[in-house]
């Protein structure tokens, strides 16, 4: 099996001699490609934005998390008020999001979630899609599986049933 360096050197040498350079093939893996399994969906309600202004890194926005609900196979509950969604508008037009908040399951377990992602304007004609990577801190026990897995999230703006601003977040476990 050739190393990436060897493949790159061969491609450069081939191109230098006028021969058509072959594209290196991805390495073979002994494990199966990852798949996604739906974990749960959240409806997160939001408060009014706090705008501290421009910083050395960009324009900062802080969105209070005021509550909400979540539900999926084997897990459901409420989102505790008091969390924050820290947003940073970068010079390249993209925004960084970092939300830190707590879930409380219907059986009383409190779980911390830190959900990060980037929001970039889509190319013309492309749909607006936001992907996040949530990380959980759950007590050892029934929901410990959240500590032991990788997750991918989706995020889209919506309204709560009472009309308050909200986001809908889908969370999938990577298997």
Q: Give the architecture (CATH level 2) of 31-174.
A: Beta Barrel (2.40)
Quickly list H helices, 24-143: none
- Please name the residue that has the structure tokens 């026990």: 141
pTM as predicted? 0.80
Give, rounded to a whole angstrom, the gap between the first and last alpha carbons of the chain. 27
Nearest to 61 by CA among 31, 88, 23, 39: 88
Q: Rounded to whole angstroms, how far apart are CA atoms 166 and 85?
A: 12
Q: Rounded to whole angstroms, how far apart are CA atoms 103 and 113?
A: 7
Residues of the chain with pLDDT under 70: 1-21
What pLDDT score does 21 carry? Answer: 54
Q: Rounded to whole angstroms, how far apart are CA atoms 129 and 108?
A: 33
Strands (DSSP E) contained in 73-161 are 75-79, 83-89, 95-105, 110-119, 131-137, 150-159
Which tens digit of pLDDT belongs to each residue from 141-168? 999 999 999 999 999 999 999 999 999 9
What pLDDT score does 127 carry? Answer: 84
- Would you list the domain boundaries of the chain? 1-30, 31-174
């Amino acid at each position: 099996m050739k190393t990436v360096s060897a493949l790159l050197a061969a491609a450069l040498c081939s191109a230098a001699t006028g021969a058509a350079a072959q594209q290196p093939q991805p390495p073979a893996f002994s494990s199966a490609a990852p798949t996604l399994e739906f974990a749960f969906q959240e409806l997160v309600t939001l408060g009014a934005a706090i705008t501290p202004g421009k910083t050395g890194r960009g324009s900062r926005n802080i969105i209070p998390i005021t509550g909400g609900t979540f539900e999926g196979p084997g897990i459901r509950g409420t989102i505790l008020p008091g969390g924050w969604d820290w947003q940073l508008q970068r010079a390249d037009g993209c925004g960084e999001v970092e939300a830190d908040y707590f879930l409380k399951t219907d059986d009383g377990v409190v779980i911390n979630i830190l959900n990060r992602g980037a929001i970039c304007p889509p190319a013309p004609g492309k749909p607006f899609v936001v992907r996040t990577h949530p990380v959980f801190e759950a007590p050892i026990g029934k929901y410990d599986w959240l500590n032991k897995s990788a997750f991918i999230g989706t995020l889209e703006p919506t309204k709560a049933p009472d009309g308050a601003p909200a986001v809908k977040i889908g969370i999938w476990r990577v298997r």
